[in-house]
Amino acid sequence: MIQLEKLVIASNNPGKLAEFQLLLQPLGIEVVTQAQLGIKEAEEPHLTFIENALAKARHVSLESGLPALADDSGICVDALNGAPGVFSARYAGFPLSDERNNRALLEAMKTHSNRSAHYYCVLVLMRSAGDAQPVIAEGEWHGEIAREQRGEGGFGYDPLFWLRELGKMSAELTREEKHAISHRGKAMKVLLEKLKAH
Ligand code: IMP
């Protein structure tokens, strides 16, 4: 098992931080956030999720001198050739807005009958900024893009992410229900297994 005493989470998203803390608690790892250490967010200039996650983890590990855990995620729509993809957070430009992103996605999908989409998440754990063998875990969650928004839970594109087998939008799931089946929940399970196995 990889021995870690303290880890910096390379994110300032409160929802993600709570999920990471919950995951790492059983391993007895002390978790601090990059904001607590006064570390600014890294740029995300790359065209793949994995490159962005590596950049975030390396940046935070370099600045803190500690192991770092970063994630990168987004929604990929088949009819749009994988868009919004790595641009999910800024699909409708700046200032960032989930509401404008959702409206932009509905507009882009207006003429498409193929509504298939998936969320993707990659997690990267670097023991140091020079770690040549970071621990990497991925997760996917498949669904469809609905024709109108529904539900108050979750964040981002959740009011549009239709889960046919459940008859619900992902914004209609509880936090626990979502975590059990989501791309981030799956990636976290894989990461935990890898940490235990190493
Ligand atoms: P990140 O913080 O750079 O990983 O940006 C991820 C973006 O992808 C978010 O801002 C959302 O727009 C979208 N996204 C990722 N995961 C989810 C999810 O679980 N629900 C809804 N939107 C998500």
Preceding omega of 159 cis (within 30 degrees of 0): no
Atom of ligand 1 nearest to the CA of 72: 4
- DSSP symbols for 114-135: --EEEEEEEEEEESSTT-SS-E
pLDDT at 174 over 90: yes
Per residue in 63-119, pLDDT (tens digit) is 999 999 999 999 999 999 999 999 999 999 999 999 999 999 999 999 999 999 999
Give the phi and the psi of residue 120 in degrees, each rounded to 5.
Answer: -135, 140
pTM of the model: 0.94
**Ligand 1 pocket: which of 41, 50, 88 to mutate (most atoms within 8 A of CB):** 88
CB atoms within 10 A of CB 48: 12
Q: Decide: 155 in ligand 1 pocket, CB within 6 A.
A: yes
Q: Decide: 88 in ligand 1 pocket, CB within 6 A.
A: yes
Q: Domains of the chain: which residue ranges?
A: 6-197
pLDDT at 197 over 90: no
Helix (H), strand (E) counts: the chain: 5, 7
* CA atoms within a 13 Å half-sphere pointing along the CA-CB vector of 130: 0
Q: How far is the CA of 89 from the centre of ligand 1 (A)?
A: 6
**Residues catalogued as catalytic:** 72
**Topology, domain 6-197:** Maf protein (3.90.950)
